[in-house]
Structure formats: C-alpha cells, structure tokens
Amino acid sequence: MNTILIPTDFSKNSKNALLYALDLFRHTPCHFIISYINLDGTDYKERPIYNFGTNILVERAPKGIQEKLEDLKKLVYSTSSKGTQHLCSLICEEGFFVKAIQKLIHDKNVDLIIMGTKGATALKEFFTGSHAGDVITKVGCDVLVVPHKARYKGFKQLVFPVDFELPINDTLLKKMDNLVGLQPTQIHLLYVTKSDIPLFKEVEALQRQWVKRISETLNKPVKFHRVISKKVEDGIQSYTDEISADLIVMISKEYGPFHKLFMDTTVEEVSFNTKIPLLSIQV
C-alpha cells in the first residue's frame, strides 16, 4: 500500500492537490496522510461565515484545525471508489515546515508527497522560498507538485528533460512505471541545447541507450527530441505547450541534473504552463 503525504493549509490549491491525488490513485490501495503544519502555534480559524435567514443575519462559528481536517477526511472517503483500499489519517504538527515534513516521512515511511501550488507557475515555486520549493530541494522524498488549475486526466504525454549526466537506473524506471502503469503513455526524452551544433557521439550513444532501456522496461513508446533554446526553461516550455503535455518528470539530486538545469534561471524567467504537474524523483 502506497503511503501518500498531502500537506494542507486548507487553501483551494491544497484541496485541489488532494482531489488530484484521489483521482490519480482512484484504483490503487493507498494510505493518505493529510497533515497541517502549525507554524506559529495558534489555532487556525477560517473567517466567520454569515448566512441570511428569513429576516436576520446569522453568524456561523468558524471551524478550527481539527474540524477542517475532519472535513478533508470525509472528502477522501466520499470520493474514493467502492472497494478501493483507501485509508486516511490526520496529523497536526507544530514547528518548522521542512523539519515537520522530514519527521513525517521518517515516522510514516512516506512514498510520495503531493503538494498544491498557487501563483503563476508550478516551477516558480522552487525559486521563491515557498513550501513546495523547500520540500523539493531539502526533503529526500519524491514530490508531485500540482498547479492550482491542474485536473487529472491521465498521462498521455510525459516529458522527461535529461542531460545524461546521471546514469539511468532501476530505481528511476520502477518509480516511473509505478506512476504510469498500464496507461497508453508516450514518453518524450527532451534534451535542450543552446546551439544547433551536432551532438557529441557520446551523447548520441547515451540517447539511444536511454530510449531503448526505457521503452523495453516500461513497455512504452519513447521518442527523443532535441530543442534549441538559449534558455532551458523556454525550451521545455515551448515543447510541453506544443505536445499538450500532461506531466513533467525530473530527477532531483543534490548537484545533479535538476539543479544544474536551472541553476542560472531566475524566478522572473520561469514561465511554465500552469496546468502541467511536475514530478520530482529522488534517485
């Protein structure tokens, strides 16, 4: 059974991430852990809600943390398909966000974190000191970042940006296989270069190896694409738009391709499609 951690702040984007997770794992046994990290120790309260009665204005008491968490738990069980083994636990932690997440990962043996994002882009979160960015870069766990407008409709087109600096391994392939399963997914290996000079023979050899290994292991069609762009993020942006991608998968490893790929990118330069979720895989 997969253990899925879903941090929440009770916002619309965090609720959307939960709904995305329920659709993604609709037929998969999962233990969903919904966690609220109380950063300042105060009791979370939503704003008072007012309803018009017959002749009077009635104030509805705002809900506290536990009641809001219970509402999300009810949503899990009401949305889950009949017969699917879905469990749901609620946790409220206090303290620093990243440390609390790290503790939950260790204590609960978490397999995947699913987080919602707000604002212009999903990847923009990585560069603004946001919770999603901190989890991606500081927590040793796979993370699926779900933009606030994203809706799960399957993974027909999966984009996998690569630079071939890390060897492809069984862990990466197994995690990708667990995610896409038997879906009819087209995998696009994407290599962004700043000029159109011919590829080195070593890179061409690696490209063929990756295509062959991924297609044989995942039993999916794999295509290799080279995009010429002065900025890596612009190259990925244009290609994901062109094919209407459903998911971007990237390797996350300290000083590995993920960081090298974007180390010279500023927040203002990132303009990824808000509808495309991003999966960061630890290897």
Write down the pLDDT at residue 45: 53
Last residue of a domain, one of 147, 172, 191: 147
pLDDT tens for 142-191 read 989 888 888 999 999 999 988 887 778 888 899 999 888 888 999 999 99
- Given 114, 147, 180, the domain boundary residue is 147
Could you tell me which residues come within 8 angstroms of residue 40 by beta carbon, excluding any fewer than 6 positions away? none
Q: What does the pLDDT look like over 193-204, one tens digit per residue?
A: 888 888 888 889
Q: Which amino acid is at 220?
A: K
Q: At residue 260, does pLDDT exceed 60?
A: no
- Domain annotation covers residue 137: yes
Residue 245 has pLDDT above 70, yes or no: yes
Helix, strand or coil, per DSSP, at residue 129: coil
Let me know if residue 78 belongs to a domain: yes
- Give me the number of domains the chain comprises: 2
Which domain range does residue 119 map to?
2-147
C-alpha to C-alpha distance for 137 and 254, rounded to whole angstroms: 8
Confidence check: pLDDT of 271 > 60:
no
- Which domain CATH number covers 67? 3.40.50.620
Task: Confirm whether 85 is domain-assigned.
Answer: yes
Let me know whether 251 and 183 are in one domain.
Answer: yes
What's the N-to-C CA distance of the chain in angstroms?
21
Are 143 and 184 members of one domain?
no
Kindly report the pTM of this predicted structure.
0.81
Q: Is residue 152 part of a domain?
A: no
What is the tens place of the pLDDT at every residue in 31-68?
Answer: 999 999 887 655 555 555 445 555 555 555 556 888 89
Co-location of 10 and 109 in the same domain: yes
Domain-located, residue 233: yes
Give the SS3 label for residue 154.
Answer: coil
